[in-house]
């Protein structure tokens, strides 16, 4: 769904190929209370930061946790929406609010149910042997 997708830039009509590359706990790397999801957008890094408190809120409201797989889908859906709506696709990092995370999470879960399941991670790893 949103771990490897194409989106057209609102302003330039450029086709942007967005691929998930990494999920990093930002507490260690930039002293932020967030999980950073890295995408390559036509070869350039773009990070979507999800606040750790979103995990707590999701657990409170549903009793379920946000998995790594879901976090990637949420961040990818958010990135796609940013580009489609004309936000600056040249920025290197965007930070989501808790409300945005939960809203995108609900949408991703709904889409995954309609499709049968979430794509598995990691993507783009070629089998050897």
pLDDT at 122: 60
pLDDT digits (tens, 9 = 90+) for 30-70: 888 999 999 999 999 999 999 999 999 999 999 999 999 99
pLDDT at 127: 45
Helix axes 68-84, 98-115, angle to 10 degrees: 100
Quick check: 129 pLDDT over 50? no
pLDDT digits (tens, 9 = 90+) for 13-32: 999 999 999 999 988 778 88
Strand partners, 16: 7
State which residues form the domain around 60.
Answer: 4-114
**Number of structural domains in the chain:** 1
Show the tokens assigned to 48: 């979507």
pLDDT digits (tens, 9 = 90+) for 63-93: 999 999 999 999 999 999 999 999 876 789 9
Residue 119 lies in a domain: no
b/e per residue 68-90 (b: at least 16 CB within 10 A): ebbbbbbbbbbbbebbeeeeebe
pTM for the model stands at 0.88
Quick check: 123 pLDDT over 60? no
């Amino acid at each position: 769904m949103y771990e490897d997708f194409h989106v057209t830039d609102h302003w330039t009509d450029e086709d942007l190929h967005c691929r998930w590359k990494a999920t990093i706990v930002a507490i260690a790397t930039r002293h932020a209370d967030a999980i950073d999801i890295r995408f390559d957008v036509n070869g350039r890094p773009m990070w979507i930061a999800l606040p750790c408190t979103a995990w707590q809120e999701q657990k409170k409201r549903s009793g379920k946790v946000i998995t790594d797989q879901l976090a990637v889908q949420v961040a990818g859906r958010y990135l796609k929406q940013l580009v489609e709506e004309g936000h600056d696709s040249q920025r290197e990092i965007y930070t989501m609010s808790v409300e945005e995370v939960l809203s995108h999470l609900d949408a991703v879960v709904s889409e995954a149910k309609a499709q049968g399941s979430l794509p598995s991670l990691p993507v783009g790893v070629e089998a050897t042997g």
